[in-house]
Structure 1
Amino acid sequence: MPLKIKKLAVLSLIFFSCNTGKLKVVADISNGLKEVSTAEIIPNSKLLWVIEDAGNQNNLYGLNKDGGIVKNIDISNVINEDWEDLTSDAMGNIYIGDFGNNNEKRKKFSIYKVKNPAHIKDHTTADIINFKLPDDVKSKDFEAFFLLDGYFYIFSKETKSCYLIKVPNQIGYHVAELVTDFNLDGKHNKITSADISADGKTVVLLNHDKLWKLSNFEPDAFFKGTVEALKFDHDSQKEGICFKNNKTVLITDEKNGTEGNNVYSFDL
């Protein structure tokens, strides 16, 4: 490679790295998906599983390491009212959180269980978990959850005081239990996605320009442990987070013009 071209390549790489702050781009998501709202990894699958949010198809997509769609699974018995987050269990089953509620008028919320999608070709049906909020909790917008010890822990998306509720992982209709309300310090506190590490010791909550790392907590007392805000030095519409391993997370953002629609890695 001529010296001049080599220098330009190095400069481009440096600029690109700086442009994404502390995040490392690991894949460019397929142009067929514009509003990826979350990401999830399941056992014994090399794919990154994603969905799109309100107004898009009721489909679950599996992406390869380059961000290409290699699985496109239609879930025929549900609709995408406002799909916001994914979580999974040790058997590889994926759960879709249909609990987005931008106008805060929704009364019934749903979680859809898709049995291990690695074994599904292109269509399936989901088991349905429905829930409502306790009578003393006003309708809220929820965009983030994870599964722990048989319960879904679901976080509201607020600018100030937020709610954490939990719902049992059981098919049927439930009344959610209010775990706590909480207020994260500083500005820009809307939580868009969440996950818990495989060892159960670390929770991450995603925001557009940072994440909160929760550790040293007791059961149901996540905010009474250590809460750290880790900044990305990068701002985009980040909507999805999942653990790659106990120390590294993968993050997705939505497409905005010519920017975004990437999968990033971030070391905690």
Structure 2
Amino acid sequence: MIFSCQHEKNESVLSNLPNILKEVSGNEVLKNSSLIWMINDSGNSSDVYGVNRQGEIKKVIKINAKNHDWEDLASDEKGNLYIGDFGNNSNTRKNLRILKVASSDLSKNKAKVEIIEFKFENQHDFPPKKSQLSFDAEAFFYFQKHFYIFTKSRIPDKFGETLLYKIPAKKGKHKAIYIGKFFNGKENASWITGADISDNGKTVALLSQKNVLLFSDFIGDDFFSGTLKIIPFIKQTQKEGICFTNNKTLLLTDEKYMFKGGNLYEFPIK
């Protein structure tokens, strides 16, 4: 792998988010919508929020599915929205799933979802041994009729290790097939908490509290091959949401904790 490390970079604050989004865990933009769609993680209501660039909530959609632990959002070329309900802190969940919200329902106040279920092909114990706590997840995206899921490690000294899996983007029960892994560091600031792929399919962005990882020139869907650019943050906050608005610009969100975070950021990349 060819890699480079850019100088530390400060993201630009677009707006403060309202208190109801203080635990925002994912964000996404859609071709058929001018809003930025956001969700909260476990312990919050089963709502999807449409927010403008000024941080104002313009739309709320009640989803007819429980928020076990919603962790990320993705979308496809038809404008359908997908909720990653696969947060798995204890590595014991057997009901990992992705919820499909049809594009036609984004204008409504309530939406029924199609459920896509999966399990990791190499998880056999619930929970596994402490040395194998690699089945939590907070990041995924849609690409060429598949979902690509990046796990979050709970293994001491390997918090930044993320495993990449794929499943078909269709209703049913699937096995998540292992593709590869990447190591972002030992400390929990290295946890992978969000992911997206550019519209042209040429750049994958992974998010952690300490940096953005940009993968390009990869072969097929082996995203960890090819070229890697690492962009460290000047300020570390609990960043959990990332999405491309175009091939060279990212939107980031972070949770509000004490007097830090709770913002929507714009993050240009070269």
TM range (shorter): 0.7 to 0.9
Task: Name the counterpart of 1:161.
Answer: 161
Distance 1:119 1:253, change over 3 A: closer
Structure 2 counterpart of 1:101: 88
> Residue in 1 aligned with 2:208?
207
- CA root-mean-square deviation: 1.8
Between Structure 1 and Structure 2, how many residues are aligned?
248
Larger RCO of the pair (alpha carbons < 8 Å, separation 6+): 2
Residue 70 of structure 2 is aligned to residue 69 of structure 1: no
Question: Using a 3 Å threshold, how does the CA distance of structure 1 residues 117 and 260 change in structure 2: closer, same or farther?
Answer: farther
Please state how far the C-alpha of 1:178 moved relative to its aligned partner: 0.9
1:123 aligns with 2:110: yes
Deviation of 1:107 (Å):
2.1
TM, length-normalised to structure 1: 0.88
* Distance across 2 between alignment mates of 1:102 and 1:57: 19
Per-residue Cα deviation, 1:168-226 (whole angstroms, up to 9, x for no partner): 00101111111113323575421000000000000000011211010110112111111
Q: Counterparts in 2 of 1:23-102, with a 5 A limit?
A: 23-76=11-64, 78-102=65-89
Q: Report the Cα distance in structure 1 between the residues aligned to 2:161 and 2:106, rounded to whole angstroms.
A: 41
Partner Cα distance (1:133, 1:193) in 2? 19
Q: Is the 8 A contact 2:181 2:224 kept in 1?
A: no
Q: What amino acid does structure 1 have at the position aligned with 2:36?
A: L
Q: Give the number of the structure whose alpha-carbon radius of gyration is greater.
A: 1
Partner of residue 147, structure 2? 152
Q: Which runs of 5+ in 1 are unaligned?
A: 1-19
Match 2:10 to one of 9, 22, 29 = 22
Q: Which has the higher strand share?
A: 2
Match runs of 1:157-196 below 5 Å = 157-158=152-153, 159-184=159-184, 187=187, 188-196=189-197
Correspondent of 1:140 among 135, 140, 144: 135
Structure with the larger helix share: 1
Matched with 2:233 is: 232
Tell me if the contact between 1:94 and 1:117 (Cα under 8 Å) persists in the aligned partners. no
Choose 258-267 or 89-98, whichever is displaced more.
258-267
TM-score calculated relative to the size of structure 2:
0.87
